[in-house]
Structure 1
Amino acid sequence: MVYHVNGKGITALNPTSFDALDLTESDIEEWIIDTPSILGEDLLVVASQYAKFDRTAERPDVLALDPDGKLVIIELKRDSADKTTDLQAIKYASYCSTISAEELQQDYRAFWNKRRDEDNLLTPEEVGGRFAEFLGEDIATTEDGYADFVLDDRPRILLAAGSFGPEITTPVVWLEREYGMDITCIELDVHQRDKEVFVSARQVLPIPEAEEYMAKRRQKERQQSRSSSRAERAITVLLEAGLVKEGDIVLFDEESLPDDAEREYDPEDDFWRGRITGKTGRSDNVEWLENGAEYSFTALAQEVLEQATGREFNVNGYPYWLHPEHDISLSELRRSKVGDIDW
């Protein structure tokens, strides 16, 4: 039983069902699109009813991305999960395993632009900035402006339903423990008090004891995968390729400065200059000559823009910093030169 506490009083909330409240799976889907944290984790919703698979009309309810760069296939059932819910989600995961990072961002842009006013549509650069910020890393951009990152090719599965029977929980536990499949089962509970409706979510699988072990196992796999990938952060790639080195000075790109900037651009002014530290961590790639503090290229680009204009920015930093020796941005330098390196 769930209770509502109001001051010193307490009132029981009556358990009910989505069916009894005449709520559909489409309603639940919209809740998750609007507030994905209802499922108990931080997710970036990419699309709903994703319909870009060849030779099939089947559609996952919601497609999302988690902070580790994994696709999340979300399958919803209004009340009890039926006997084929897990198999259905596995099929969707297999369909989605070939999506590239740029395709995912294009789909994100198309989906959200359909829900926005025509005068407020997302650009590729804005989408790339959102993905870079969500993933929490300095990420280079493609020629079109999208974030250039590696999308994990093993999607996660998240099943959300009113309840799960053993015909779902038994194979889910087996698939996770024997084959390392990342499948989460979330039970959605709904209660009512007068005309108010309350929804809560509870993870039933993996159980907390197993979740810690599986989380460590998946983290190890991700670290191994990332360490072997050539698509690292731009600064790491550029340092390893010898195209930049510790101590190199970079300049903020004057052409990237907004028209409403209140500070005059001067390439000799330390405000517009940074020094590459040679470090490859997330937050100490460049020293700002203005104050001697160390930043990521994204954080420093945003700091410079915000101080120059007095308003907030959400950008990917690499296109904003020029390397004087090459006379192009770090983003362009990686894109145009790294491919010529004999690894």
Structure 2
Amino acid sequence: MPLYEIDGDRLRRHDAARFAALGIYERDDLQRLLRDDIAVLSPDLLVVAEEFGNWEDSRRRIDLLAVDKTGHLVVIELKRTDDGGHMELQALRYAAMVSAMSFDEVVAAYEDHLSRIRSDEDVDARSELLAWLDLGDSDEAPIISSDVRILLVSADFGRELTTAVLWLNRFDGMDVRCVRLIPYRIDGRVLLDIQQVIPLPEAADYQIRVGRKVAEQERRGTDNRDWTRYHIIVEGQVLPDENKRRAVRLMIEKLIQRGVPAAAIGGALSPGRFRPIEGEHHGEDEVRVALADQYPGVEVSRWFTEHALVQDGRTWVVRKVWGRNTEPTLTTLRDSFPEAKVGFQRATPGPAAGQA
């Protein structure tokens, strides 16, 4: 597939190169580069393992294992060939092998991975994973979905492989994607064209939205925990949905923006949920230090120090953990300050509540 450069008054053609001819290898080059910048394949991925093979046959190893924002594991298989070989069959076997992994097993794999790539740092794999999944240390361990996504990455894909992938994606729970890497050598530089070819990006966006909805329903159905998300509504404008903790923080932020005094909000909430810090503090590090200094023994990580609110010579911080008190708290905030016209509604299935 040629690439064309506008060169003055003409088009200059650059033919695609081959990885082998460029001296670029699967594991030593492509795998390493993608591991360190996985967002070029998809922005919702976190690599938790490389060359993962936690089973009896150690010869079989997943090139890269990732987890997405909805708690799905993602098997990533790489080839530098022009037809992809039989990588879809290999990836299906790997997906089956990791489908029963628990959150603790994913943490263990991620901890081992971090110890290899960041050996000179102190790492907390569990906290980093929880943060990636938008959860906190005090929340219960999340459920890792048994539906495993597959991402096939190759220089190109043969007809047999693409036919198999299109057929597999017809089944519920299957999410197989093909990303094509096309290298070009131009004026001594190597450029890489990265394209998702199956499904087309427009279809992928729809598939992601459906997958998130199914994931929420699956998690609610398997462990009875409340994964409800909420829309904050400001004078009739419905904002994007947020998880429980961020919904409370956002509602407080919008109330203050609309003229409600922070002290009044603090008086309406349960003690210790919305705390003032004397003085105006800016920047997360400064707020963290001030919070720890004025409230000895407080667990600073449980507060939104990166979203502190400054008003009338004081700095206010919102607690992250709300649990079952989320909806009652949102209701209290709405009903206590009706003149601000800030309300909420549920984003996940269930009766709508608290609409402004």
Query: TM-score, normalised on structure 1?
Result: 0.65
The farther-off stretch of 10-19 and 215-224 is 10-19
1:321 corresponds to which residue? none
SS state at 1:61 partner: strand
TM superposition shift of 1:84? 2.0
Q: Determine if contact 1:83/1:167 at 8 Å carries over to the other structure.
A: no
Q: Which runs of 5+ in 2 are unaligned?
A: 228-242, 245-268, 276-284, 323-356
- Kindly indicate whether residue 81 of structure 2 is the aligned counterpart of residue 79 of structure 1: yes
Partner Cα distance (1:115, 1:230) in 2: 37
Partner Cα distance (1:263, 1:6) in 2: 59
Please point out which of 91, 97, 100 is paired with 1:89. Answer: 91
Partner Cα distance (1:221, 1:107) in 2: 26
Partner Cα distance (2:65, 2:106) in 1: 10
1:139 corresponds to which residue? 136
Q: Determine if contact 2:70/2:212 at 8 Å carries over to the other structure.
A: no
Partner Cα distance (2:46, 2:143) in 1: 16
Amino acid at match of 2:59: A
How has the CA–CA distance of structure 1 residues 5 and 112 changed in structure 2, closer, same or farther, with 3 Å as cutoff? farther
Partner Cα distance (1:273, 1:60) in 2: 38
Amino acid at match of 2:179: I
Partner Cα distance (1:134, 1:166) in 2: 36
- Kindly indicate whether residue 184 of structure 2 is the aligned counterpart of residue 186 of structure 1: no
- Kindly indicate whether residue 118 of structure 2 is the aligned counterpart of residue 121 of structure 1: no
1:249 corresponds to which residue? 272
Q: Mapping of 1:40-55 within 5 angstroms?
A: 40-55=42-57
Please point out which of 185, 190, 200 is paired with 2:193. Answer: 200
Partner Cα distance (2:118, 2:168) in 1: 40
TM superposition shift of 1:122? 3.3
For each residue in 1:273-317, what CA deviation from the matched residue of structure 2 results, as whole angstroms up to 9, or x when unmatched?
Answer: 99x9xxxxx99xx9999645646359xxxxxxxxxxxxxxxxxxx
Partner Cα distance (1:104, 1:8) in 2: 55
- Kindly indicate whether residue 223 of structure 2 is the aligned counterpart of residue 221 of structure 1: no
2:258 corresponds to which residue? none
- Kindly indicate whether residue 265 of structure 2 is the aligned counterpart of residue 265 of structure 1: no
How has the CA–CA distance of structure 1 residues 9 and 116 changed in structure 2, closer, same or farther, with 3 Å as cutoff? farther
- Kindly indicate whether residue 204 of structure 2 is the aligned counterpart of residue 211 of structure 1: yes
Please point out which of 56, 59, 77 is paired with 1:57. Answer: 59
For each residue in 1:240-289, what CA deviation from the matched residue of structure 2 results, as whole angstroms up to 9, or x when unmatched?
Answer: xxxxxx6243599xxxx9xx957773449xxx699x9xxxxx99xx9999
TM superposition shift of 1:50? 0.5
Higher relative contact order (CA 8 A, sep 6+): 1
Query: TM-score, normalised on structure 2?
Result: 0.62
TM superposition shift of 1:42? 3.1
Q: Percent identity at matched positions?
A: 26
Q: Determine if contact 1:128/1:141 at 8 Å carries over to the other structure.
A: no
TM superposition shift of 1:8? 10
Q: Which runs of 4+ in 1 moved over 4 A?
A: 3-12, 260-264, 286-295
Q: Determine if contact 1:4/1:13 at 8 Å carries over to the other structure.
A: yes
